[in-house]
Amino acid sequence: MIEFSEVSKTYAASNGPSVTNLSLTIGDGVFQILAGPSGCGKTTTLNMLNRLIERDAGTIRIDGRDIRDEDPVALRRRIGYAFQEAGLFPHMTVSENIAITPRLLGWNTLEQRARVDELLTLIRLPDIARRFPRELSGGQRQRVALARALAARPKILLLDEPFGALDPLTRDELADDYRRIHDELHLTTVMVTHDMTEALLLGDRIAVMRDGTIAQIGTPQELMANPADDFVARMIATPQRRAKRLAAAMGENAP
Amino acid sequence: MNASIREAWALLPDYLGQHVLLSVAAILLGAAISLPLAIFAARRPRWRGPFLGFASVLQTIPALALLALFYPILLALSALTHDVFGFGVPSLGFLPALLALTLYSMLPMLRNTVTALIEIDSAVLMAAKGVGMTSRQSLRLIELPLAAPVIVAGIRTSAVWVVGTATLSTPIGQTSLGNYIFTGLQTENWILVLFGCVSAALLALVLDQLLALAASGLARRAPKRIAAAAIGLIVVVAASLLPLRSAQMQTYVIGAKNFAEQYILADVIADRLMSAGMPSSQKSDLGSTFAFRALATNGIDIYVDYSGTLWANQMHRTDMPGRDAMLAQLHDWLKAEHGVEMVGPLGFENAYVFAMRSDRAQELHIESLADLAVHSRELKIGGDFEIFSRPEWKSVQQAYGLAFATQRQYQPDFLYRAVQQGDVDVISAFSSDGRIAEYDLKILADPKSALPPYDAVLLLAPNHADALRTALAPLVHSISLENMQRANLMVDRPDGKKTPAEAAAWLATTIDAPSPPH
């Protein structure tokens, strides 16, 4: 269980989007989405959870324990993180990238190698262990980033726009794969996206953010049925309109 | 093969070995200081400016001046450590050269490392933190490997600078490939100068290419390339240093100042020692006071100096007690003050004199320095690098009231050209120089004895005086002025040049000939 209570982070001028008095509870095994336009504070919120950014006020607890009482390095090693645009280390091979957190945790080489093989199978890229990131396609890089985030068997995963900048086909495939992994491993996932369609299709619960606060929080169904205000309504208008058009098109062309 | 080239080849193992040892030590020490400083500065923007600024300022100091500066600094430091710890540090030779070159090597390494570290993609640094690295792990596993190609490029620039600049360490008593250049310049032996330039350039080129290979290996993450470069570097350095190791047995070091007579006498002494079964090596092109300081501190074991020079520069005396009294007092003073043993005079004098073209002197009716004083305000004087700052010059100026229209300084060789071509009217010269006769110059008389006698005297360092005295005693009173002039001219004359070693061999035959009874 992850609990944000009245968390604030204030930045001077343009150093980053601020967050104000944010409260949010994420249950175990939940796929939680933080959605909103750029600059709404969703990545700031995500990064406060593994202390890449330190909060100014409020408390954040994981399983009842304030994360400020834990060593930040140890905290980050037990929370998986897949970065925007992959963030792979360019001078390390795929297998070195994936094994990095286990290596930092002191696993022996045999354990590391076994874990890399297991993950490469999981992300369905068994033959790329010795390649460098620059030799991979965008979709392959994102898969490797997910594998790296999963490597040390974390219970919690943070994903920052993990499927951004990919072609639609790859993106859907990867998103479905990840959702399957999330369910199989009983993970708690917090994912940041600005794409409302993706949010509605993937998430168990969605927090729609605006200017550093949460505009509405709920399941996809709740958001669709009862948008809290005009902002949320506008946010979900596009996916709804698309869905109607698609349905109409499918109806006309139905075999 | 030409005798000069043969001689140059024979010296190559020693010169190259010393040059490589000095350069590699300076680069490694420079890297050991610059890299941690750069890592520190990269993480603290406030320190970056001052660090890079300091290194840049060091770079603007002329290399020769930086090298020369370490002599007085180490001299002062030596006095301090002597008082506090009871031992001194060497102020000549390897140590000052190493320190100056180390400072000189730092800028490219510092600048490249700082730049490489601060330009690493911030997303990669964020990822390193995010996967759970401490800041030390991020530096070791991510930042340094990513910066490595640029850092090696900085080391490469430093290496080329240091190898080139190391040639300037010769005048402060460190043997290097610069010995070819300085000796060649002094004796107008351009083959030797060229040999020095080419060998230093080749060394720089080889190191540069090997480091380039290492940098490209690091950039492309090609371990074979990196290994090849590392092996190449090790082979080059080891092969250069190997001859030094075999020369590690007990040898005596003969010092020489920077002119032909000194090179010839050093070779004469070396031959003497060789026939007594005592191997020796030479440190040539030492500055005048460097040579004495090196001898007094056992940096060199033997060299020839001149009584008047020691009288004025070391004892700071301006009185003239007469030749024999002066030699006796000098002998006692050297022993008492520095433990230096003066074995005795070699038999000839190499005095500071002033000379003019004979036709010009006749035209102006100048015979002596007193006559010169009448015309000096309309005349131009040329001197070597030392004369105008020496006490003898002041004493001559005062005695005769000399004041010239212009005053210029030249390399000794160019000095003779200058007076012959009429660029200057009067030059300072040395009485044993064969070129005085060759160029038909008139030596001006010194009726007031403002200049002291300059008997060539053989000096031994405190540590090895006993071992060397017997072998070298036969040289005392064995070289006539005429023979020394002839030997000097062999090396100094523009055409039909001989090497100092050849001139020394000829001079040795005149020493071994039974001397006429007195």
Confidence band, pLDDT 50/70/90 cuts, at residue B392 = confident
pLDDT in tens, A39-52: 889 999 999 999 99
Chain B contact probe: residue of A78, A91, A103 with most B CBs at under 10 A: A91
Q: Which two tokens stand for residue A13?
A: 């001028």
Confidence band, pLDDT 50/70/90 cuts, at residue B514 = very low
Determine, for residues A148 and B130 on separate chains, whether the beta-carbon distance falls below 8 Å.
no
- Please, how many CA atoms are within 13 Å of residue B157, restricted to the half-sphere of its CB? 16
Determine, for residues A132 and B129 on separate chains, whether the beta-carbon distance falls below 8 Å.
no
pLDDT in tens, B464-480: 777 788 888 889 999 99
Alpha-carbon torsion, ordered A218, A222, A227, A231, to 10 deg: 40
Confidence band, pLDDT 50/70/90 cuts, at residue B517 = very low
Residue for token pair 């090609």: B222
Confidence band, pLDDT 50/70/90 cuts, at residue A90 = very high
What are the residues whose beta carbons fall under 8 Å from the beta carbon of B483, sequence distance 6 or more?
B348, B507, B510
Distance CA B18, CA B74 (A): 21
**Cβ contacts (< 8 Å) between A81 and chain B: which residues?**
127, 130-131
Confidence band, pLDDT 50/70/90 cuts, at residue B516 = very low
pLDDT higher than threshold 70 for residue B512: no
Cβ atoms of B372 and B361 closer than 8 Å: no
Distance CA A49, CA A41 (A): 13
Distance CA B352, CA B479 (A): 19
Determine, for residues A85 and B133 on separate chains, whether the beta-carbon distance falls below 8 Å.
no
Which helix (H) or strand (E) covers residue A32, if one does? strand A31-35
3-state secondary structure of B149: helix
Is B11 within 8 Å of chain A by CB? no
Closest CA to A240 of A225, A228, A251, A252: A225
pLDDT higher than threshold 70 for residue A130: yes
What are the residues whose beta carbons fall under 8 Å from the beta carbon of B142, sequence distance 6 or more?
A89, A91, B120, B124, B125, B128, B133
Q: Over the range B326-351, which residues count as b (16 or more CB within 10 Å of their CB) and which as e?
A: bbeebbebbeeebebbbbbbbbbbbb
Q: β-pairing, B380-383 with B406-409? A: parallel
**Cβ contacts (< 8 Å) between B133 and chain A: which residues?**
73, 104
Confidence band, pLDDT 50/70/90 cuts, at residue B77 = confident
pTM of the shown model: 0.72
pLDDT higher than threshold 60 for residue B249: no
Beta bridge partners of B115: none
Pure H helices in B119-222: 122-130, 135-137, 144-165, 178-186, 190-219
Task: State mean pLDDT over B239-246.
Answer: 76
Distance CA A128, CA B492 (A): 73
pLDDT higher than threshold 70 for residue B322: yes
pLDDT higher than threshold 70 for residue A14: no
Lowest-confidence pick of A15-19, A77-81, A110-114: A15-19
Determine, for residues A89 and B124 on separate chains, whether the beta-carbon distance falls below 8 Å.
yes
Number of A:B CB contacts under 8 A? Answer: 51
What are the residues whose beta carbons fall under 8 Å from the beta carbon of B320, sequence distance 6 or more?
B326, B449, B452
Chain A contact probe: residue of B124, B131, B151 with most A CBs at under 10 A: B131
Q: β-pairing, B352-357 with B426-430? A: antiparallel
Percent of chain B with pLDDT over 90: 38
Cβ atoms of A180 and A174 closer than 8 Å: no
Task: Please give the pLDDT value at position B245.
Answer: 65
Is A77 within 8 Å of chain B by CB? yes
pLDDT higher than threshold 80 for residue B434: yes
- Report the alpha-carbon angle A222-A224-A228, nearest 5: 70
Task: State mean pLDDT over B173-200.
Answer: 87
Lowest-confidence pick of A166-175, A176-185, B258-267, B437-446: A166-175
Q: Over the range B233-255, which residues count as b (16 or more CB within 10 Å of their CB) and which as e?
A: beebbeebeeeeeeeeeeebbbb
Among the partner residues A50, A74, A89, nearest to B142 by beta-carbon distance: A89
What is the chain A residue with the closest CA to B124? A87
Phi and psi of B302, rounded to 5°? -145, 140
Task: Please give the pLDDT value at position B513.
Answer: 55
Distance from CA of B41 to the nearest CA of A (A): 23
Closest CA to A137 of A167, A93, A92, A179: A167
Confidence band, pLDDT 50/70/90 cuts, at residue B334 = very high
Q: Which two tokens stand for residue B283?
A: 């440190």
pLDDT higher than threshold 70 for residue B362: yes
Chain B contact probe: residue of A52, A104, A141 with most B CBs at under 10 A: A104
**Cβ contacts (< 8 Å) between B128 and chain A: which residues?**
89
Cβ atoms of B146 and B100 closer than 8 Å: no
Task: Please give the pLDDT value at position B248.
Answer: 54
What are the residues whose beta carbons fall under 8 Å from the beta carbon of B95, sequence distance 6 or more?
B70, B74, B89
Task: State mean pLDDT over A190-217.
Answer: 92
Is B469 within 8 Å of chain A by CB? no
Is B124 within 8 Å of chain A by CB? yes
| Mean pLDDT, rounded, of chain A | 90
Is B140 within 8 Å of chain A by CB? no
- Looking at this predicted complex, what is its ipTM? 0.89
Q: In whole angstroms, how far apart are CA B253 and each of A136, A239, B17, B75, B94?
A: 64, 91, 17, 21, 14
3-state secondary structure of B341: strand
DSSP string, B468-493: HHHHHGGGTT---HHHHHHHHHHHHS
Distance CA B181, CA B416 (A): 20
Confidence band, pLDDT 50/70/90 cuts, at residue B246 = low
pLDDT higher than threshold 70 for residue B247: no
